[in-house]
Amino acid sequence: MPNSLKIFETVLYSDNLDAAKTFYSQVMGLRLLSQNDLMRVVQLMKVIC
């Protein structure tokens, strides 16, 4: 069994993508990586392997 748990990807659904983007980027401090009409992609943390 591995010593650490690694999460590659997770999904959160929102009815208001602009409000979610504002919350996760400004309040939580996450960096916006990409966006389109259907989704916003943020980086949770820097991965060190």
Check residue 6 and give its pLDDT: 75
The pair of three-digit structure tokens given for residue 46, joined into one six-digit string: 């820097």
Check residue 49 and give its pLDDT: 54
Structural domain that includes position 17: 1-49
What pLDDT, in 10s, does the model give residues 8-33? Answer: 788 889 999 999 999 999 998 889 99
pTM for this one? 0.67
What pLDDT, in 10s, does the model give residues 37-47? Answer: 999 988 877 65
Domain count, the chain: 1
Q: Which burial class, exposed, middle or buried, applies to 42 when counting CB atoms under 10 A from its CB (0-12, 13-18, 19+)? A: middle
Q: Which burial class, exposed, middle or buried, applies to 47 when counting CB atoms under 10 A from its CB (0-12, 13-18, 19+)? A: exposed
For residues 7 and 1, the answer to whether their CB atoms sit within 8 Å is no
Name the one residue in this structure whose structure tokens are 């748990």.
5
Distance CA 4, CA 20 (A): 29
